[in-house]
Amino acid sequence: MADAAVPAREGGGAPGDAGPGTDASDSKAAGDQPRGPGAGALLGWLFLLPALVVLAVLVAYPIVWSLVRSLYGADGWSDFTGLHNYKELFTDDDTFTALKNNLIWVLVVPAVVTALGLVFAVLTERVRFATAFKLILFMPMAVSMLAAGIIFRLVYDHDPDKGVANAVVVGVHDAFSEGAPYPGARPRGNAGFDAAGGGFVTKAATPAGGTALLPLVALTADKVPSDAQPAPLAPPAPGAGVSGVVWLDFSPGNAGTPGQVDRGEKGLPGVKIEAVRGGHTVGSATTRADGSFTLPASATKGGPVQLRLAESNFATSFGGYDWLGPSLITPAIIGAYVWMWAGFAMVLIAAGLAAIPRDALEAARVDGATEWQVFRRVTVPLLAPVLAVVMVTLVINVLKVFDLVYIVSLGSSQKEANVLALQMYLASFGGGNNQGLGSAIGIVLFLLVLPAMLFNIRRFRRENR
């Protein structure tokens, strides 16, 4: 409360533009004003006048105007179309996408942000640097959606050498899976292979004791490892298994015979060969430095096998996700939004947590409740009103989201990222020039926040009873 934080400064507080009458009324005798605080209807309306005029002209009147305008078409007042604009909301592709995306936003963002805020608020109670942590997480609230948009376009840049998101994704990916040794390579066209899910399988089955020649092409010489040995002219002895050679079937100057190992052609080490029978992998081998391999007898025990060159040998290197592309754009923008708002949820919930009587928690602990039970059965129910306020605030703000979507999706996937507030702008100002549809979208947004408005009014009346 005001509690003496700022004591009343007698005579010092009046700004220069105090308005007429301030000083004059000072000199009046005390008896001239026979009323207590709060008398005088006229004075009340005078104090209210500026605010009422502004609100009436720039807020109330526009709502009514938009409501009426939404019943007319793009051509203006001569073009009465009834509810057509509202129908178009659900039938027009762009607007419907916007509606659908708004629904996703409203379903995902408040829940995620509130959950994160709750977790952070509870955890920060246990560390010394709680204040610093809250400051850091709350900071994005002070940043404009535009700046956040620019920040996250940088983060989401597709090139892993520029965007930190893809740099991390590619880094993690490469740490856990080695890159394919021969990206883009494929068997020679007439060598008897079927393509199988990015890899290749021989058409013919090789029996025990058989050999196979697996010629690869479409590989530049610099992709051949420096430790590769010339391929043996004949495969090694298969024994009871299967042997073969994988090599780059290409001699400089086209001197060699396609499908045959020619002198000087290099073997390809490190290719993974799998023996397949009836759809099951029954054995595998990796080629040696000269490209030769031998599958053990166990692979062919049950009969002839087909040889598969797995996809992992040829996959082109992973370049990260296309965050700003059509399919990921909405989750990407939502990520940026969560970044902005998690601190808000955390600070509000932390304030709510601080107001929970410690006795209630201690009593539960004394009764033998685990920390999780205390959290689930005591803390969360006591926090419910705060959580509701956070959720409602987020729903309202999420419905109105515009800048962030506009900036992040600019020039890439605006159609896919569309939301109502953006579509409203595009339809009425950004080239669409259909103020009827724009008004209808405005009215729909207004209707969507009405429940929140009622929630506010009810909360206010309850707290002031």
Partner 1 sequence: MSATVTAPTEPTDGPEVSDGGIKRGLASRIVARTGGGLVSVGLVLVALFWLMPTFGLLVSSLRDPKEMDGSGWWKVFSSPGQLTWDNYDSLLSNDDMMRAFFNTIWITVPSTVLVILIGSFAAYAFAWLEFPGRDWLFLVVVGLLVVPVQVALIPIAKLYGDTHLFGTITGVVLFHVAFGLPFAVFLLRNYFAGIPRDLLEAARMDGGTDLTIFFRVVLPLGLPAIASLAIFQFLWVWNDMLVALIYADTDSAPLTVALQSQSRAFGSNIEVLAPGAFLSLIVPLMVFFAFQRYFVQGVMAGAVK
Q: Which of residues 347-406 bind partner 1 (CB under 8 A)?
A: 347-348, 350-351, 354, 389-390, 392-393, 396, 399-400, 402-403, 406
How far is it, in rounded angstroms, from Cα 7 to Cα 431? 55
How far is it, in rounded angstroms, from Cα 207 to Cα 387? 68
Q: Please tell me whether residue 155 binds partner 1 under the rule CB under 8 A.
A: yes
State which of residues 172, 257, 429, 433 lies at the interface with partner 1 (CB under 8 A).
429
- Considering only residues 435 to 454 of the shown chain, the ones binding partner 1 according to CB under 8 A are 435, 438-439, 441-443, 445-446, 449, 452-453
How far is it, in rounded angstroms, from Cα 122 to Cα 110? 18
Among the residue ranges 31-39, 186-194, 229-237, 253-261, the one whose residues contact partner 1 (CB under 8 A): 31-39
Tell me the β-bridge partners of 247.
215, 267
The residue among 52 and 111 lying less far from partner 1, judged by its C-beta, is 52
Query: What is the phi-psi region of residue 156: left when phi exceeds 0, alpha when psi lies from -120 to 50, beta otherwise?
Result: alpha
- Considering only residues 38 to 67 of the shown chain, the ones binding partner 1 according to CB under 8 A are 38-45, 47-48, 50-52, 54-55, 57-63, 65-66
State which of residues 89, 109, 407, 417 lies at the interface with partner 1 (CB under 8 A).
407
State the nearest-atom distance from the C-beta of 316 to partner 1, in Å.
20
State the nearest-atom distance from the C-beta of 397 to partner 1, in Å.
8
Q: What is the edge-to-edge ordering of all strands in the sheet holding 199-202?
A: 193-196, 199-202, 306-309, 272-277, 280-286
How far is it, in rounded angstroms, from Cα 264 to Cα 270? 19
State which of residues 85, 243, 287, 428 lies at the interface with partner 1 (CB under 8 A).
428
| Positive/negative CA dihedral, 255, 259, 260, 261 | positive
Q: How far, CA to CA in Å, does 228 sit from each of 224, 233, 268? A: 7, 15, 6
State which of residues 73, 110, 117, 163 lies at the interface with partner 1 (CB under 8 A).
163
Helices (H), 70-220: 84-91, 93-124, 130-138, 145-155, 164-176
State which of residues 89, 118, 285, 424 lies at the interface with partner 1 (CB under 8 A).
424
Residue type at 376?
Answer: R
Instruction: Compose the 270-309 pattern: x for residues touching partner 1 by CB under 8 A, - for all others.
Output: ----------------------------------------
Cα-to-chain-centroid distance, residue 104: 11
The tokens for 169 are 């994704």
Helices (H), 237-281: none
Query: What is the phi-psi region of residue 433: left when phi exceeds 0, alpha when psi lies from -120 to 50, beta otherwise?
Result: left
State which of residues 73, 110, 117, 149 lies at the interface with partner 1 (CB under 8 A).
149
Tell me the β-bridge partners of 215.
247
The residue among 255 and 388 lying less far from partner 1, judged by its C-beta, is 388
Q: Please tell me whether residue 111 binds partner 1 under the rule CB under 8 A.
A: no
State the nearest-atom distance from the C-beta of 304 to partner 1, in Å.
51
State the nearest-atom distance from the C-beta of 79 to partner 1, in Å.
15
What is the chain's Cα-based Rg?
A: 36
Among the residue ranges 102-110, 142-150, 188-196, 233-241, the one whose residues contact partner 1 (CB under 8 A): 142-150
State which of residues 107, 111, 143, 234 lies at the interface with partner 1 (CB under 8 A).
143
How far is it, in rounded angstroms, from Cα 96 to Cα 89? 6
The residue among 30 and 366 lying less far from partner 1, judged by its C-beta, is 30
Among the residue ranges 19-27, 203-211, 218-226, 235-243, the one whose residues contact partner 1 (CB under 8 A): 19-27
How far is it, in rounded angstroms, from Cα 139 to Cα 164? 20
Q: Which residue shows structure tokens 């729909």?
A: 444
Q: Please tell me whether residue 105 binds partner 1 under the rule CB under 8 A.
A: no
* Nearest C-alpha neighbor of 66 from the set 426, 440, 446: 440
Cα-to-chain-centroid distance, residue 197: 29
User: DSSP letter string over 383-399?
Assistant: HHHHHHHHHHHHHHHHH
State which of residues 86, 96, 138, 318 lies at the interface with partner 1 (CB under 8 A).
138
The residue among 80 and 429 lying less far from partner 1, judged by its C-beta, is 429
State which of residues 82, 131, 237, 257 lies at the interface with partner 1 (CB under 8 A).
131
- Considering only residues 311 to 350 of the shown chain, the ones binding partner 1 according to CB under 8 A are 339, 342-344, 347-348, 350
Query: What is the phi-psi region of residue 461: left when phi exceeds 0, alpha when psi lies from -120 to 50, beta otherwise?
Result: alpha
State the nearest-atom distance from the C-beta of 109 to partner 1, in Å.
15
Q: Please tell me whether residue 120 binds partner 1 under the rule CB under 8 A.
A: yes
Tell me the β-bridge partners of 283.
275
Q: Please tell me whether residue 25 binds partner 1 under the rule CB under 8 A.
A: yes
State the nearest-atom distance from the C-beta of 276 to partner 1, in Å.
42
The residue among 51 and 221 lying less far from partner 1, judged by its C-beta, is 51
Question: Residues in contact with partner 1, total (CB under 8 A)?
Answer: 138
State the nearest-atom distance from the C-beta of 143 to partner 1, in Å.
5
